[in-house]
Amino acid sequence: MTDEATVKARLRALADTDETDRSDATPTALQAEHREMIERATDALDDLAAAAAFVDDGGLADLERAVEAAEESVSAASQRGRETLAAYRRYRAAASGDQFHPGRGTSLGDGAKVESR
């Protein structure tokens, strides 16, 4: 497993270069980078603090790019990446609180409902 500092350095390097700067990188090396990013994102789902840190570090944008690149290279990691990205999106939706509605006036027992103003 790659340590966090190495992953961050590689991600920073990815963000600081454009595709023309990467002409010396082999397709296999690029696929490995995408797989590593997808693996890191997937592993972070097991721990709330790690998932939050991943998102705070801009990991979702990196994950989206890795999934797109994996799909372009027809990598087997693309399916797992899409599933991981969908999980992060579900977490974000759940954390937004949009699905919660006030329960004022709702009876939780067999009794009559209370009139609310």
**pLDDT tens sequence across 7-43:** 777 667 666 655 544 444 555 666 788 889 999 999 9
What would the pLDDT profile of 68-77 be if each residue is shown by its tens digit?
Answer: 888 887 667 8
Q: How many CB atoms lie within 10 A of CB 38?
A: 26
pLDDT at residue number 20:
46
The model scores a pTM over 0.75 = no
Residue with tokens 């991981």: 84
What's the chain's Rg over C-alpha atoms? 21
pLDDT at residue number 34:
85
pLDDT tops 70 at residue 85: yes
What's the rounded Cα separation, in Å, for the pair 54 and 62? 10
> Cα torsion for 64, 65, 71, 73, to the nearest 10°?
-160
Once rounded to an integer, what is the mean pLDDT over residues 46-63?
89
Highest mean predicted confidence (pLDDT) among 7-11, 32-36, 60-64, 89-93: 60-64
